[in-house]
Amino acid sequence: MPTRIFLAIVVAAAVVVTALVLRERGEDKLALEAEAQALIKDFGGSLLGALKGSIESSGPVEAVAFCNKEAPGIAAQASRQSGGWQISRTSLKPRNPASAPDDFERKAMSDFVGRIAAGEPVASLHHAEIVEHDGRRSFRYVQAIPTGELCLGCHGSAIKPDVAAKIRALYPDDQATGFKPGEMRGAFTLSKPL
């Protein structure tokens, strides 16, 4: 067998074995990425459904109170049902101070800001990485959330006075207003220990 072909076979075998080992260890990055995206689809769908239901049944002021009470619970429930993931939302301009980004999330979103300025569509932006912290490895995934028309009632620049008053009462340090349609409102942020 010519040496070139032999070497090609050895390299291909090494690649396959590495992929199998990583998969065995739950560290197949592409598979984790796909899993994160599927979880976001479910979580985002639950949040949006609950938000629309609340606005329709009780109006936007009550919907602010609803988001305040229910949004963190919906995230906690999504995490519990996910099989080991931590699922939540963050923003460079958070409403809930508990949603302020850590360094990893801030860096990912700052990078998205640059890519949006360069013309990339918000909905396509995501960042996936396997990170190590204090000797523990985890998979982290951040995906940008665009601002839609529905969001403007509570995150736009012409918020109705009664809605604005309710937001101020619940979130005195609110930074999450003044967004325009299509801008990045924040991001889904997921992590899974490996």
Can you give the binding site for ligand HEC, defined by CB under 6 A? 48, 51, 60, 63-64, 67-68, 71-72, 89, 91, 94-96, 99, 145, 147-148, 150-151, 153-155, 176, 185-186
8 A C-beta contact, residue 185 and residue 123: no
Closest distance of CB 30 from ligand HEC, Å: 26
Beta strands in 6-164 (DSSP E): 86-90, 126-133, 136-146
> Would you say 94 or 140 has its CB closer to ligand HEC?
94
To which residue do tokens 């390299």 refer?
11
Given a contact cutoff of 8 angstroms between Cβ atoms, the answer to whether 189 and 145 are in contact is no
CB atoms within 10 A of CB 175: 13
Task: Closer to ligand HEC by CB, 26 or 182: give it.
Answer: 182
Between 101 and 140, CB nearer to ligand HEC? 101
Cβ proximity to ligand HEC, 29 vs 142, nearer residue: 142
Q: What's the closest the beta carbon of residue 39 comes to ligand HEC, in angstroms?
A: 16
Smallest gap, in angstroms, from Cβ of residue 131 to ligand HEC?
A: 22
Closest contact distance (angstroms) between CB of 156 and ligand HEC is 9
Cα angle: 49, vertex 51, 55; to 5 degrees: 120
* 61, two tokens: 């002021």
Is 191 strand, coil or helix? strand
- What tokens were used for 55? 């606005």
The end-to-end CA distance of the chain, in Å, is 41
The nearer residue to ligand HEC, 45 or 193, going by C-beta atoms, is 45
Query: Nearest approach, Cβ of 8 to ligand HEC (angstroms)?
Result: 48
